[in-house]
Structure 1
Amino acid sequence: MTSDPGSEDFYDRIPVFRGFPSVTDETLYRPLPDDWLIGTTDVVGSTSAIRANRYKAVNMAGAAGIAAVINTLGRDFPFVFGGDGASFAVPPSWADAARDALAATLSWAQDELSLELRGAMVPVKTIRDNGLDVRVARFAPSDDVTYAMFAGGGLAWAEAAMKRGLFAIPPAPPGTRPDLSGLSCRFEEMPSQHGLVLAILVVPGERADQRAFRRVVQELVLLAERKGHAPVPAQGPSFRWPPQGIELEARASRYGNVPLILRRIAALFRTALYYLIFQFRVRVGPFIPSVYMKQVVANSDHRKFDDALRMIIDCTPELAEEIEQKLAAAARDGTVRFGLHREQAAMMTCFTPFPTHADHMHFVDGATGGYALAAAALKSGTHDLSMMANAGKS
């Protein structure tokens, strides 16, 4: 059922596909080895935090687990960012290091962001013993990065098991700091250029036939590609000084023993330097601002599949309505459940360990709640909480 159990280079050997509509092609997915583990994190009470305008902090916490494990392992492994959390898979030989990195991240989120981030490590074999699977594909939005896609229902099962308390990683002692080098959110929000930014979350319905579900996903992806737009502007996001995320960058410093005021000053100086480099397009050794910005656009992660379709698109109100109607029809026959969130801008959380390397990653979400509020709409059965909020204001 699995290929090369325990192999550390399993993920490296999965073929890479281009063209996101192929995400529904089952032949592109490979089953994870039985002895691998699934790591997953989630911000507890993320909807309430977002309602309190803490959406940037929620996104930072969601991406922090990925950054901490990447920096700790220094190797390639499959992961996916979900807005208010993340999931990943590692072989058993890397599991202890990944668990320690997560434990430190949970402690950091509480200490620095006053957010409760929970985490867990779930054996793939346990998932299969419960009748589900974890299969992985590799999608390349550009020549420089790949992002993992997950199918089989196992990732969703692992997250639900964590939320029920069946699996848990205890936080490291207070004051423990993960290595979050390269994690930042320096760019400004990206206003919609076509009417609105739409966060889309689609999961299988309770009576879903998998082929019918994949057909709906493919139709939706093709519709978004044909009529929608990427939320990241072609010229790249804007960079002002001081950036909106300066406080979060200061709190992400691994030097937690340094007073916060000094970390803020260091972040101000560091971002001022970057601002001047971008403003005047100064080449610094191998770093070329214009090339870096093109890579930001190409490498951005605004669509994914992890047992659910997640997309952030810039679109017209008419396209948003068309998408909602198509999904509502599929929901009525039990094929899908879905949540949407309409907003005016998108935001980006960046992971750039080495600015001179082309493989920097940029996680896109809605600027005022995105995926997390789409998930809340799905759970409530209202499909779109933003529409209810707007109706209440009129």
Structure 2
Amino acid sequence: MESTRFYSDLPTHVISVSQLLADDSCFAAVPRDWRVILTDVRKSTQALSDGKHQVVNLVATGSIIAALNVAHRHGITLPFFFGGDGATLLAPPSLAAAIEQALLVHRENTRANFDLYLRVGGLALAAIYDRGQQLNIAKVEVNRGLVIPVALGEGLQYVEKIIKREDYAPPMALQDTTLDLTGMECRWDRILPPESAQEVLCLLVIVNDPRSQSALLSKILAQIDSVYGPLAHRSPVSLPRLKLKATLGKINTEMRAKLGRFDFGYLLEHWLRTLIGGLYFRFNPEGAHYLKQIVQWSDTLMIDGRLNTIMSGTAAQRQTLVEFLGCLEDQGSIKYGIQVCTASVMSCYVRDRRDQHIHFVDGLGGGYTQAAIMLKAKLAR
């Protein structure tokens, strides 16, 4: 049976994510002939220490955009998961090879322009299932117009372990492969929390027993909703805090990530566009509508068998949540990592400012990566 439209044709659930996780009937097994494709910036912690957090985020965003543009040409929707310093995607067999080859070109551009090495690799679902792993997926609308994938099982983490091994041998890029990063933008200044007394929190949680994964993740999300409020309320992205940053350095980084080379015409054109963008957003009704959609369509929650989320709130709210997570950790149910940031950063995929854009959010200074360091230290004990 043709599986190309498996994800495109999945029903979209309009319930809370905690409710979704509590209902196994909402999920479907990913077809055996689909492929997991993963990218990861190697030594990202060192890159963050070197002040390259913007570049790391942009490279990770580019991984998703490269795949989505391949899928867009075929009218297919793909599930993807943004991780701050990398990304995970699921692709049907008809698109997987083209996506991986585009990502290998992205890897070479990243190395040539930023002196960063981007791991690229993949594994068929058949191989994952044959190793006893599971991967089930659902679609849920978390804000009006923003539909995200939710994955359960340990299949994606299994692939991640394989591709991050030192002995993993990635394929070589084809010479005639093209890379299309149309729509990639990185022009927003760091985004302060909505209120001056707030902070930005990046949180990663894994469940120790796969049999309890859905129930515990549902319980944790319900607690986050109780402490921080619903997803839209706790978002670190708010309309008053959005400010364009029209520096040549920022446009240059975007240009090199997108084109793989220097292009003076691109640099000048997009610098000027960013300079006048403030007027467009302030005085043009379409611009004002786009800003509101940015807030609605910011990707701040990811569940790929783990919980990854970024939110804004007070130190008191964080303490309440940490006490709750600490109890679950002491019981041996979960392990978690957190990172507190003073602001968030955002990179964007904009195909059409009216109705085709999504915005990837991370904590300033690599919040997700820093939270992962804490989590990995616990796992190593």
1:195-252 per-residue CA deviation (whole Å, 9 max, x = no partner) reads: 2100000011269743653354234332354387211114462224338732322213
Mapped to 1, the partners of 2:175 and 2:94 lie a distance apart of 27
Instruction: Show the counterpart of 2:284.
Output: 282
Shift of 1:363: 0.8
Instruction: Show the counterpart of 2:6.
Output: 10
Equivalent position SS for 1:67? helix
- Trace 1:162-311 onto structure 2 (pairs within 5 A): 162-165=163-166, 168-170=169-171, 172=173, 178-192=179-193, 193=195, 194-205=197-208, 209-210=212-213, 213-226=216-229, 229-235=234-240, 237-242=242-247, 245-254=250-259, 256=260, 259-279=262-282, 281-282=283-284, 288-311=286-309
User: Is contact 1:345–1:367 with CA below 8 Å preserved after alignment?
Assistant: yes
Residues 85/224 of structure 1: CA separation in 2 closer, same or farther (3 Å cut): farther
Please list every run of 5 or more consecutive structure 2 residues that lacks an aligned counterpart in the other structure: none
Mapped to 2, the partners of 1:320 and 1:219 lie a distance apart of 15
Stretch deviating more after TM superposition (212-221 or 21-30): 212-221
Query: Do structure 1's residue 95 and structure 2's residue 96 form an aligned pair?
Result: yes
Shift of 1:349: 0.9
Letter in 1 for 2:204: L
1:178-197 per-residue CA deviation (whole Å, 9 max, x = no partner) reads: 21111112111111224210
Query: TM (normalized to structure 2)?
Result: 0.89
Letter in 2 for 1:185: C
Instruction: Show the counterpart of 2:126.
Output: 125
Mapped to 2, the partners of 1:211 and 1:308 lie a distance apart of 10
Higher relative contact order (CA 8 A, sep 6+): 2
Mapped to 2, the partners of 1:219 and 1:36 lie a distance apart of 32
Mapped to 1, the partners of 2:27 and 2:217 lie a distance apart of 14
Residues 146/210 of structure 1: CA separation in 2 closer, same or farther (3 Å cut): closer
Mapped to 1, the partners of 2:158 and 2:361 lie a distance apart of 24
Mapped to 2, the partners of 1:209 and 1:321 lie a distance apart of 25
User: Is contact 1:236–1:293 with CA below 8 Å preserved after alignment?
Assistant: no
Taking only the aligned residue pairs, the percentage that are identical comes to 27
Equivalent position SS for 2:338? strand
Instruction: Show the counterpart of 2:377.
Output: 380
Please list every run of 5 or more consecutive structure 1 residues that lacks an aligned counterpart in the other structure: 384-394
Instruction: Show the counterpart of 2:64.
Output: 66
Residues 236/172 of structure 1: CA separation in 2 closer, same or farther (3 Å cut): farther
Instruction: Show the counterpart of 1:22.
Output: 19
Shift of 1:333: 1.6
Query: TM (normalized to structure 1)?
Result: 0.86
Shift of 1:266: 3.3
User: Is contact 1:196–1:342 with CA below 8 Å preserved after alignment?
Assistant: yes
CA RMSD in angstroms, aligned pairs only: 2.5
Mapped to 1, the partners of 2:210 and 2:183 lie a distance apart of 43
Stretch deviating more after TM superposition (139-148 or 184-193): 139-148
Equivalent position SS for 2:134? coil
Mapped to 2, the partners of 1:263 and 1:171 lie a distance apart of 29
Mapped to 2, the partners of 1:218 and 1:331 lie a distance apart of 15
**How many residues are treated as equivalent by the alignment?**
371
